[in-house]
């Protein structure tokens, strides 16, 4: 397992840490508002089966503390861009409403994923 991304982004008053590890034919993403991370929502997503079609990635919420909409969106987007299965550990302790950070976080994650893809 090799760490390929270690970034911190600021959204409003929150600092969100994003780590991405490349594993054998897969990726592990850790997203948290805590430096020491945590488990939180665990989502597994696999890339679309048929390439070239506008099919969606399949995701499975394996374990969750909260609603998993944001973690599902991020995991599906990551597996579609990276074309590998992605296991996402998404842990927000301080953020009370995911809606407050959703747009900026997904945009930042998309930028990170595009950099990895290149």
Spell out the residues 6+ positions from residue 109 whose beta carbon is closer than 8 angstroms to its own: 18, 31, 74, 77, 78
Total domain count, the chain: 1
pLDDT digits (tens, 9 = 90+) for 9-54: 999 889 999 999 999 999 999 999 998 888 888 999 998 776 665 5
Sheet holding 14-23, edge to edge: 2-11, 14-23, 26-32, 86-91, 41-46, 58-63
**Model-level pTM?**
0.86
CA 49 – CA 37 distance, rounded (Å):
31
CA 76 – CA 118 distance, rounded (Å):
19
- Residue-range definition of the domain harbouring residue 49: 2-117
Q: Which is it for the CA torsion 46, 83, 98, 19, positive or negative?
A: positive
pLDDT digits (tens, 9 = 90+) for 89-103: 999 888 877 788 889
CATH number for the domain that contains residue 95: 3.30.230.90
The C-alpha angle 50, 48, 54, rounded to 5 degrees, equals 70
- Where does 24-80 show beta strands of DSSP type E? 26-32, 41-46, 58-63
């Amino acid at each position: 397992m090799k760490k390929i991304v270690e970034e911190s982004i600021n959204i409003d008053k929150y600092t969100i840490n994003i780590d991405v590890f490349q594993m054998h034919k897969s990726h592990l993403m850790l997203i948290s508002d805590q430096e020491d991370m945590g488990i939180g929502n665990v989502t597994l997503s696999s890339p679309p089966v048929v390439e070239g079609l506008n099919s969606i990635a399949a995701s499975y919420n394996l374990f969750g503390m909260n609603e998993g909409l944001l973690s599902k969106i991020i995991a599906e987007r990551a597996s579609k861009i990276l074309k590998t299965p992605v296991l996402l550990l998404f842990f927000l302790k301080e953020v009370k409403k995911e809606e407050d950070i959703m747009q900026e976080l997904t945009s930042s994650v998309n930028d990170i994923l595009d950099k990895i893809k290149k």
